[in-house]
Structure 1
Amino acid sequence: MFKKVTIQADQRGLLFHKGSYVKKLNPGTYHYLLWAQTTVVVMNIAKPFVIEGKDLQLFLQDEDLVRELDIVRVQDHEYVLHYEDSQFVQLLKPGVYAYWSILKKHTFLHTDIRQPELPAEVDRSILPKLTAHVQPYEIASYESGFLFYDHVLQRELSPGKYYFWRGPVSVMVKTIDLRQQQMDLIGQEIMTEDKVTLRLNFVCQYKIVQPLRALEMKSFDEQIHIQLQLMLREYVGTLKLDDLLKRKEDVASFILSRLREKGEEFGVQFLGAGVKDVILPGEMKDILNTVLLAEKKAQANLITRREETASTRSLLNTAKLMDENQTLFRLKELEFLEKICEKIGSISLTGGGDLLERLSSLIGEKKAAGK
Structure 2
Amino acid sequence: MKEFCLQMEVSANQVGLRYEDDLLIEILPPGTRRLYWKNNRKQYMVTINLDEGYTLSDEMVEQLLQPALRKKEVVGDSSVLIAQIPAYHVGVLRVNGKVEQLLEAGITAYWRFNREVSVEIVDTRLQMLEVAGQEILTKDKVNLRVNLVANWHYSDVLVAFEKVASPKELLYRELQFGLREAIGTRTLDELLENKNIIDEVVSTHIKQKMVGYGVQTVSLGVRDIILPGDMKAILSQVVEAEKAAQANVIRRREETSATRSLLNTAKVMENNPVALRLKEMETLERIAERIDKISVVGGLDQVLHGLINIQPKG
Matched ranges for 1:83-232 at <5 A: 88-91=22-25, 110-112=47-49, 115-122=53-60, 124=62, 127-129=65-67, 131-132=73-74, 133=77, 134-165=80-111, 167=113, 169-216=115-162, 217-232=164-179
Q: C-alpha distance in 2, partners of 1:155/1:349?
A: 106
- Contact between 1:191 and 1:198, CA under 8 Å: does it hold in 2? yes
State whether structure 2 residue 205 is matched by structure 1 residue 258: yes
- Contact between 1:204 and 1:272, CA under 8 Å: does it hold in 2? yes
**How much has 1:293 moved relative to structure 2?**
0.5
**How much has 1:166 moved relative to structure 2?**
6.3
Q: Structure 2 vs 1, CA of residues 170 and 196 (structure 1 numbering), >3 Å: closer, same or farther?
A: closer
Q: C-alpha distance in 2, partners of 1:183/1:56?
A: 59
**How much has 1:109 moved relative to structure 2?**
5.9
SS in 1 for 2:211: helix
- Contact between 1:263 and 1:270, CA under 8 Å: does it hold in 2? no
- Contact between 1:146 and 1:174, CA under 8 Å: does it hold in 2? yes
SS in 1 for 2:275: helix
The structure whose RCO (Cα within 8 Å, separation 6+) is larger is: 2
Q: Structure 2 vs 1, CA of residues 160 and 55 (structure 1 numbering), >3 Å: closer, same or farther?
A: closer
Aligned residue for 1:288?
235
Aligned residue for 2:10?
75
SS in 2 for 1:348: coil
**How much has 1:312 moved relative to structure 2?**
1.7
Structure having the higher Rg? 1
Q: C-alpha distance in 2, partners of 1:191/1:201?
A: 14
Which letter maps to 2:107? Answer: K
Unaligned runs of 5+ in 2: 310-314
Write out per-residue CA displacement over residues 143-189 of structure 1, whole angstroms, 9 at most, x where no aligned residue. 22122345454432222211235656543212222222222222222
Q: Structure 2 vs 1, CA of residues 310 and 259 (structure 1 numbering), >3 Å: closer, same or farther?
A: same
Q: Structure 2 vs 1, CA of residues 89 and 195 (structure 1 numbering), >3 Å: closer, same or farther?
A: closer
Q: C-alpha distance in 2, partners of 1:169/1:237?
A: 49
Q: Structure 2 vs 1, CA of residues 340 and 54 (structure 1 numbering), >3 Å: closer, same or farther?
A: closer
Q: Structure 2 vs 1, CA of residues 202 and 308 (structure 1 numbering), >3 Å: closer, same or farther?
A: same
Tell me whether 180-189 or 108-117 shows the greater mean CA deviation.
Answer: 108-117
- Contact between 1:74 and 1:80, CA under 8 Å: does it hold in 2? no
After TM superposition, the score normalised by the length of structure 2 is: 0.76
**How much has 1:110 moved relative to structure 2?**
4.7
Aligned residue for 1:276?
223
**How much has 1:310 moved relative to structure 2?**
1.9
Q: C-alpha distance in 2, partners of 1:339/1:174?
A: 85
State whether structure 2 residue 178 is matched by structure 1 residue 238: no
SS in 2 for 1:136: strand
After TM superposition, the score normalised by the length of structure 1 is: 0.66
- Contact between 1:79 and 1:112, CA under 8 Å: does it hold in 2? no
Counting aligned pairs with the same residue, the percent is 37
How many corresponding residue pairs?
291
- Contact between 1:213 and 1:267, CA under 8 Å: does it hold in 2? yes
Which letter maps to 1:338? Answer: E
Q: C-alpha distance in 2, partners of 1:55/1:344?
A: 125
* 1:361 aligned residue (288, 296, 306): 306
Tell me whether 324-333 or 290-299 shows the greater mean CA deviation.
Answer: 324-333
Q: Structure 2 vs 1, CA of residues 350 and 277 (structure 1 numbering), >3 Å: closer, same or farther?
A: closer
Unaligned runs of 5+ in 1: 1-50, 58-72, 100-104, 365-371
**How much has 1:81 moved relative to structure 2?**
6.8
Which letter maps to 1:356? Answer: D
Aligned residue for 1:326?
273
Write out per-residue CA displacement over residues 219-248 of structure 1, whole angstroms, 9 at most, x where no aligned residue. 443333222222322332221211111223
SS in 2 for 1:264: coil
- Contact between 2:85 and 2:121, CA under 8 Å: does it hold in 1? yes
- Contact between 2:20 and 2:43, CA under 8 Å: does it hold in 1? yes
Q: Structure 2 vs 1, CA of residues 89 and 144 (structure 1 numbering), >3 Å: closer, same or farther?
A: closer
Which letter maps to 1:339? Answer: R
Which letter maps to 1:242? Answer: D
